[in-house]
């Protein structure tokens, strides 16, 4: 053997033993046929000075255009271009130091087929979202309850703060339950790896963007869940957190650059105030604290003004949609992000997936405050491109006072009417997500003081008002709990664990009231599924009168009359008082009971009737 062949053989031997162990690459893979074809790979080596090595890629259709050596000597950022003619395969990235060479395989996968039809379909007002926490919904695989080597080894259902063992297989096991209830879309708290020492049940302080939580079943189970949803014609929303990570995230323990995170002389928490971001009189220091302050000591604040951080986050969003077949995006703590970055990220998603939708959490007070962060009709120096908001205003200044306050000029159900009248400021209010409660707030049944009649009124409103309805797991069976501490609103769904005496999936052990509410949700949600007026129709509301509030959902094919009596006396309702919408109709059918009434009828106090008008 001549010397050249000998060294080539030796080089091949070194390469063959170095695959996927010499360095870690983020994103872990990419796809052919993507609009986003200029990919920036964050590469992390094991020793300081790693990024002094040379880098070489020799793969048809893949070009290394720039090598960025970051401040931390363990990190590269490699700019590559994937051409339109590149084929799926393993791109070998070679790291060369002197006469030594190591190689890492970077898979280039084929893009999913059916973009816009089988995934990335978007979520609209025609959908009904069910929101759950995987750790607290159902334990379908006890073998992954604990994972050796992870920091949080808790497993105790008697503690509201420890892990309980719920997982993605548990969700898969009960998709029939959700579908039969009329649910079209599933949203879960974050499913990314959360290797924090404690409070890992919620998932919002994750530690690796490119790993799915192994105690949920990992990447295999997440893909299986996505596939099972799509087989049923259902959709998947991923909970996205751009603002922060957990303090045990690898980029915080070993930052690629000094400014990867927002740094302060001493710990500085966000003020949680949204006003400095749009207040014409605000100080810059207040605005900086809102956006750059840390959410908590456990959640370091990412610096999205750093272009490498921005690329890392945007590419993860695109990768998630493509890798797991995600249909929609719920964005956590939206207002604390760098807003120009969020515009860029949202646009990247829409450019790649034209039908995909994204809505953001902005826990603010005031319709203008909320509207600032989404597409709106205001003439402002800076315009956000977020499609829709999680509608805290319709909750706090709408349905909650409607059901908990006596009627008045500015109180009670009048607040619901007034808040909806302010929809004039949104570009498209039907893209807002409406809800009754969530994992951070007191459960709805507790808010209405465990009044079943009021709970039914709230659910009736949720499934008939404009926007995208979202129900928090357990609302359909009257789960209750105060939010302080938050663990009490994150209790286990009954029946999700072996040996549960109470099982909401089968009805075993449920009270008569719980069974009745479950059936109420099922009946109304399934009616909504086939109702064009409730899914995509227009809304017309009438001024509330003595606690009686009437609104209509309607289109060319159907008219649904919604009558809410928040008073303490029976009220008489006459079609003639609502002639704009009732003209030509002589009777109505109650969508819950099937009872038929004429042009004049009475409604009991603390009741809401949903009536399909008939000629």
CA–CA gap between residue 604 and residue 607 (Å, rounded): 6
CA separation, residue 68 to residues 19, 47, 74, 495, 594 (Å): 22, 17, 12, 52, 68
Query: Hey, is 68 helix, strand or coil?
Result: strand
For the stretch 345-352, contacts whose Cβ atoms lie closer than 8 Å and that sit 24 or more positions apart, written own/partner, are 345/242, 345/310, 345/313, 345/314, 345/317, 346/385, 346/386, 346/387, 347/385, 348/36, 348/314, 348/317, 348/318, 349/317, 349/318, 349/321, 351/35, 351/36, 352/34, 352/35, 352/36, 352/318, 352/321
> Active site includes 361?
yes
Residue 554: which of 537, 573, 568, 578 has the closest Cα? 537
CA–CA gap between residue 222 and residue 190 (Å, rounded): 11
Catalytic residue among 274, 301, 332, 500: 332
Classify residue 354 as exposed, middle or buried by CB count within 10 Å of its CB (0-12, 13-18, 19+). exposed
Catalytic residue among 361, 423, 437, 492: 361
3-state secondary structure string, 358-401? EEECCCCCCHHHHHHCCCECCCCCCCCCCCEEECHHHHHHHHHH
Tokens of 77: 């950022």
Contact 125, 536 (CB under 8 A): yes
> Active site includes 500?
no
What residues are annotated to the active site? 332, 361
């Amino acid at each position: 053997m001549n010397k050249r062949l000998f060294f080539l053989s030796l080089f091949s031997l070194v390469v063959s033993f170095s695959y996927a162990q010499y360095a870690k690459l983020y994103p872990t893979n990419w796809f052919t046929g993507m609009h986003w074809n200029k990919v920036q790979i964050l590469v992390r080596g094991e020793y300081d000075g790693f990024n002094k090595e040379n880098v070489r890629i020799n793969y048809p259709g893949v070009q290394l255009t720039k090598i960025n050596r970051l401040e931390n000597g363990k990190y590269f950022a490699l700019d590559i271009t994937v051409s339109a003619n590149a084929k799926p395969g393993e791109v070998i990235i070679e790291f060369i130091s002197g006469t030594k060479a190591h190689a890492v395989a970077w898979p280039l996968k084929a893009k999913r087929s059916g973009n816009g039809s089988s995934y990335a379909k978007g979520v609209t007002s025609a959908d009904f979202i069910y929101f759950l926490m995987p750790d607290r919904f159902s334990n379908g695989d006890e073998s992954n309850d604990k994972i050796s080597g992870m920091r949080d080894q808790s497993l105790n259902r008697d503690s509201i703060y420890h892990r309980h063992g719920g997982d993605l297989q548990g969700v898969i096991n009960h998709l029939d339950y959700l579908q039969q209830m009329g649910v079209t879309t599933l949203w879960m708290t974050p499913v990314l790896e959360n290797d924090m020492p404690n409070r890992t049940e919620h998932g919002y302080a994750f530690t690796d963007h490119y790993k799915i939580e192994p105690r949920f079943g990992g990447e295999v189970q997440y893909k299986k869940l996505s596939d099972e949803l799509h087989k049923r014609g259902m959709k998947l929303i991923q909970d996205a957190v751009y603002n922060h990570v957990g303090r045990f995230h690898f980029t915080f323990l070993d930052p690629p650059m000094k400014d990867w995170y927002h740094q302060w002389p001493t710990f500085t928490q966000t003020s949680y105030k949204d006003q400095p971001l749009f207040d014409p009189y605000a100080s810059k220091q207040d605005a900086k604290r809102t956006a750059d302050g840390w959410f908590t000591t456990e959640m370091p604040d990412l610096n999205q003004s750093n272009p490498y951080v921005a690329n890392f986050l945007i590419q993860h969003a695109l990768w998630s949609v493509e890798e797991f077949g995600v249909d929609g995006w719920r964005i956590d703590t939206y207002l604390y992000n760098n807003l120009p970055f969020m515009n860029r990220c949202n646009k990247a998603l829409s450019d790649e997936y034209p039908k995909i939708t994204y809505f953001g959490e902005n826990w603010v007070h005031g319709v203008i405050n909320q509207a600032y962060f989404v597409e709106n009709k205001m003439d402002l120096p800076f315009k956000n491109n977020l499609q829709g908001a999680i509608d805290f205003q319709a909750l706090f200044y709408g349905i909650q006072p409607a059901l908990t306050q006596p009627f008045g000029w500015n109180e009670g159900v009048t607040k619901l009417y007034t808040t909806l009248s302010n929809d004039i400021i949104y570009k498209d209010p039907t893209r807002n997500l409406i809800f009754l409660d969530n994992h951070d707030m007191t459960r709805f049944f507790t808010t209405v003081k465990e009044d079943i009649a009021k709970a039914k009124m709230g659910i009736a409103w949720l499934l008939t008002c404009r926007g995208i309805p979202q129900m928090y797991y357990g609302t359909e069976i009257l789960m209750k709990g105060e939010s302080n501490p938050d663990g009490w609103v994150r209790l286990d769904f009954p029946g999700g664990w072996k040996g549960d005496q109470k099982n909401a999936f089968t009805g075993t052990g449920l009270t008569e009231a719980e069974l009745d509410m479950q059936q109420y949700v099922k009946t109304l949600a399934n009616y909504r599924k086939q109702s064009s007026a409730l899914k995509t129709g227009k809304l017309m509301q009438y001024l509330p009168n003595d606690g009686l509030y009437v609104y209509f959902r309607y289109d060319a094919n159907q008219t649904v009359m919604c009558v809410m009596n928040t008073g303490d006396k029976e009220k008489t309702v006459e079609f003639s008082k609502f002639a704009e919408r009732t003209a030509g109709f002589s009777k109505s059918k109650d969508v819950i009971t099937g009872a038929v009434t004429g042009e004049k009828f009475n409604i009991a106090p603390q009741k809401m009737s949903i009536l399909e008008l008939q000629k």
